Structure 1
């Protein structure tokens, strides 16, 4: 059985590797749709609030109204220096590579799975017309290829 839950958050980012408009700092209202595999144990499988109580606050704390940023982006060093110099505390959601929607899907799939949920599919909507579908097979392939091995080391330490 599948339970489908939707969440939204606002975040800024840029993709410094591209040579187009996405190289500029800009923001999105990201929509994510989680598809959870659940097993019925009686009259119900899982309370919807079990998802909302963990995922909602997590997204609000780590992502909402923050900046997704590659730690290798020169802007990252500039922002960290500015924060130290001026005592400001920007919400920076650190990536170990470009902040593409594909990498965001991988990162969110990993984080939600580590919460103990059996996530089978994650859809990430970046714009009104652009959605990526990222499933368990994609996640297994990315983990196997160790494409994001540095991210794993950092995430595991937390």
Structure 2
């Protein structure tokens, strides 16, 4: 089995609906995303011969996703009133509305699914919301 690993970071704000504690309030994180690829065999031809995947292509895909979330307000769909969303947008804030509660666990799965849909042999994604705490998604 062969593997690659890369990581990227992004800064964003979020809050957790139906949570009773500090995280129910709007707050931000420096999210760290670590992505692992695993493959039984190495490539057999072209520029990716004897590679799992070109590191440049791998890094580009991961960074494109983290950049899409960088300096945005991650909002669970339906968690804010439409008037609130409209007011935030009208003020010029960048919002990313996601169809799930914006936990590290769900973000790890989101990254996994996005990269797998692009054909990457993803085996695991870790999402750190603090330097010492991370959530992992494996399939």
Do the structures match in fold with TM over 0.5?
yes
Structure 1 residue 102 corresponds to structure 2 residue 105: yes
Q: Cα distance, 1:77 vs. partner?
A: 4.2
Structure number with the higher strand fraction is 2
Q: Cα distance, 1:83 vs. partner?
A: 2.2
Tell me which residue corresponds to 2:135.
Answer: 132
* Closer/same/farther in 2, CA of residues 102 and 77 from structure 1, 3 Å limit: farther
Greater relative CO (CA pairs within 8 A, separation 6+): 2
Q: CA RMSD in A?
A: 1.8
Unaligned runs of 5+ in 1: 137-158
Partner Cα separation in structure 2 for residue 131 and residue 76 of structure 1: 31
8 A Cα contact 2:30 2:129, kept in partner: yes
TM-score by length of 1: 0.75
Unaligned runs of 5+ in 2: 44-48
Structure number with the higher helix fraction is 1
TM-score by length of 2: 0.85
Partner Cα separation in structure 2 for residue 122 and residue 112 of structure 1: 10
- 1:26-45 equivalences under 5 Å are 26-38=27-39, 39-41=41-43, 42-45=49-52
Q: Cα distance, 1:11 vs. partner?
A: 0.8
